[in-house]
């Protein structure tokens, strides 16, 4: 803010100011003539009554008004002196000292008026400075409110985002138990629940053609094409690049629609575990306010889960896949760890989702008898069911004494909390498996969280092993 530079040194002369001076002097002269004509001009009165007019006007209106009022008072006083002493000429008035009081009227009007102007100028500068500061304060207040509102919205988005991702993980676990035909509508329903997709579809790749498998379009005239070449349009670009593609986020809300297959808002590839593209997941209609990077990210994530579910469903259907879990512990096998863990690791890096692991090893486990081993594993299964979420994955590591707990969408602090609860639960059982010793079951536990510097899943496991205590 800049201060005004056009501050005047004096108030503009107003006829009213001169009129007030004339009236004031005239009133005093009238009183003098009517009531004190024997003291014409109040020459022997001190202080002179004209000061009653000169001083207030000079103080109130400044230099010009003060000077003119003082001059009027001086001329009037000299005129009354001439009336009272007609024999005096101008030189006699000067030499006899009668001119002192008239001069004082003029000088007082000038000096007091100038002082008044200086004070008025200072007051105006201070007032302008205050107004500028107040305006700056109001602007800063508005900016603070805007920033505070933006912060609250951002905090709400972060909380909502974490809640959304966590909910998605839980819902995605249901994909594993579905048949292939049930996976497609479930994936589209998940899109609707998570990003409010009003129209979406799934195409599978076959013989260089993308064939429509499922669609959530309600209006028949808006249904997408049943089949399209795998090299055409946005879906063709997705097939060739292997990456999620979305339309330009700078389009207007009027353009934000899908017309048959001419415009797809978001298209994400569906991969199997060997990174072969099985098809694409499309969002064709979405509220304009919901189209943001988070929506693109979630669409890619659902497509990723859809690929996992399809591969799992097909493997089970053709009986190619071996049993992937241990009935005694409820933990997945080491072979399945080697297949599943890289997928979760790469997914966490790709979508910047927290991922933590906990490694637990039962001390001297292999030296126990089979009965004691089974008892320990039964306890371990009970603890796992009680403490773990639906989205958490428990794997057997290299032998029956080592287990890896995979915690999707969980930061290191959350993993440490899970670790603490598992240790407390194990100690509650007060299991004493050692012969000739009353020592409680001993075990070691380590935890670690993924970071962007990691390139391989083994790095996360090694970090957890280093943290074992």
pLDDT of 94 over the 50 cut: yes
Share of the chain above pLDDT 90, in %: 13
pLDDT of 33 over the 70 cut: yes
Query: What confidence score (pLDDT) does residue 159 get?
Result: 40
pLDDT of 22 over the 80 cut: yes
Are 117 and 9 within 8 A, CB to CB? yes
**pLDDT-based confidence at residue 204 (cuts at 50, 70, 90):** very high
Residues across the chain: 469
Distance CA 124, CA 127 (A): 5
Mean pLDDT value of segment 438-467? 88
CA distances from 256 to 217, 281, 292, 458 (A): 16, 18, 13, 44
For residue 321, give the 3-state DSSP assignment. coil
The mean pLDDT of the chain is 80
pLDDT of 388 over the 50 cut: yes
Are 284 and 265 within 8 A, CB to CB? yes
Q: Where in the chain is the domain with CATH 3.30.450.40?
A: 178-317
Helix (H) or strand (E) holding 443: strand 443-449
Share of the chain above pLDDT 70, in %: 81
Distance CA 292, CA 117 (A): 62
Query: Could you tell me how many helices (H) and strands (E) the chain has, helices first?
Result: 12, 10
**pLDDT-based confidence at residue 9 (cuts at 50, 70, 90):** very low
Q: What is the CA radius of gyration of the chain?
A: 47
Establish whether the linkage from the previous residue to 47 is cis, with ω within 30° of 0: yes
Q: Where in the chain is the domain with CATH 3.30.70.270?
A: 334-466
- Of 146-150, 151-155, 192-196, 459-463, highest mean pLDDT: 459-463
CA distances from 414 to 112, 189, 425 (A): 78, 29, 17
Query: What confidence score (pLDDT) does residue 7 get?
Result: 40
End-to-end Cα spacing for the chain = 62
CATH of domain 334-466: 3.30.70.270
Are 228 and 246 within 8 A, CB to CB? no
User: Phi and psi (nearest 5°) for 216?
Assistant: -105, 15
> Shortest CA distance to 55 belongs to which of 39, 69, 45, 43?
69
Mean pLDDT value of segment 202-213? 91
Mean pLDDT value of segment 440-445? 84
Query: DSSP of 231-242, one letter per residue?
Result: TSHHHHHHHHH-
Among 256-270, 323-337, 454-468, the range scoring the smallest mean pLDDT is 256-270
Query: What confidence score (pLDDT) does residue 164 get?
Result: 57
Distance CA 431, CA 375 (A): 9
Query: What confidence score (pLDDT) does residue 31 get?
Result: 87
**pLDDT-based confidence at residue 252 (cuts at 50, 70, 90):** very low
- Quote the CATH superfamily of domain 178-317: GAF domain (3.30.450.40)
- Sequence-distant (6+) residues with CB within 8 A of 297 are 351
Mean pLDDT value of segment 369-378? 81
Quote the distance between the C-alpha of residue 459 and its chain's center.
Answer: 34
pLDDT tens track for 43-64? 778 888 889 888 888 888 888 8
């Amino acid at each position: 803010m800049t201060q005004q530079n056009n501050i005047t040194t004096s108030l503009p002369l107003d006829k009213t100011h001169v009129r007030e001076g004339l009236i004031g002097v005239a009133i005093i002269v009238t009183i003098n003539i009517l009531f004190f004509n024997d003291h014409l001009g109040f020459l022997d009165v001190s202080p002179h009554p004209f000061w009653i007019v000169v001083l207030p006007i000079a103080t109130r209106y400044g230099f010009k008004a003060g000077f003119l009022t003082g001059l009027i008072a001086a001329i009037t006083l000299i005129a009354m002196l001439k009336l009272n002493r007609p024999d005096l000429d101008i030189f006699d008035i000067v030499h006899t000292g009668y001119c002192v009081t008239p001069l004082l009227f003029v000088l007082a009007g000038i000096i007091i008026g100038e002082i008044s102007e200086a004070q008025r100028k200072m007051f105006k500068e201070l007032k302008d400075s205050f107004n500028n500061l107040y305006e700056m304060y109001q602007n800063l207040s508005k900016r603070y409110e805007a920033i505070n509102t933006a912060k609250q919205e951002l905090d709400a988005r972060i909380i909502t985002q974490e809640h959304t991702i966590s909910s998605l993980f839980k819902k995605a676990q249901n994909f594993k138990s579905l048949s292939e035909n049930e996976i497609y509508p479930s994936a589209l329903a998940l899109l609707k629940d998570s990003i409010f997709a009003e129209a979406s579809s799934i195409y599978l790749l076959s013989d260089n053609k993308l064939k429509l498998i499922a669609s959530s379009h309600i209006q028949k005239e808006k249904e997408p094409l049943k089949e399209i070449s795998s090299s055409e349009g946005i879906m063709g670009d997705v097939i060739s690049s292997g990456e999620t593609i979305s339309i330009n986020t700078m389009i207007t809300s009027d353009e934000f629609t899908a017309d048959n297959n001419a415009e797809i808002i978001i298209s994400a590839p569906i991969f199997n575990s060997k990174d072969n593209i099985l098809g694409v997941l499309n969002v064709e209609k979405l509220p304009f306010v919901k189209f943001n990077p988070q929506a693109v990210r979630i669409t890619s994530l659902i497509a990723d889960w859809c690929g996992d579910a399809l591969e799992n469903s097909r493997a089970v259907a053709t009986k190619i896949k071996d049993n992937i879990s241990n009935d005694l512990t409820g933990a997945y096998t080491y072979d399945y760890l080697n297949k599943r863990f890289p997928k979760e690791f790469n997914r966490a890096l790709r979508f910047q989702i927290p991922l933590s692991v906990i490694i637990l090893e039962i001390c001297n486990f292999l030296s126990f008898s089979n009965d004691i081993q089974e008892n320990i594993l039964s306890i371990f299964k009970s603890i796992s069911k009680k403490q773990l979420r639906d989205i958490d994955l428990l794997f057997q590591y290299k032998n029956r004494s080592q287990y890896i707990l995979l915690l999707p969408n969980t930061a290191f602090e959350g993993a440490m909390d899970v670790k603490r609860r598992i240790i407390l639960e194990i100690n509650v059982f007060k299991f004493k498996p050692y012969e000739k010793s009353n020592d409680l079951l001993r075990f070691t536990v380590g935890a670690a969280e993924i970071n962007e510097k990691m390139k391989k899943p083994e790095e996360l496991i090694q970090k957890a092993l280093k943290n074992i205590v």
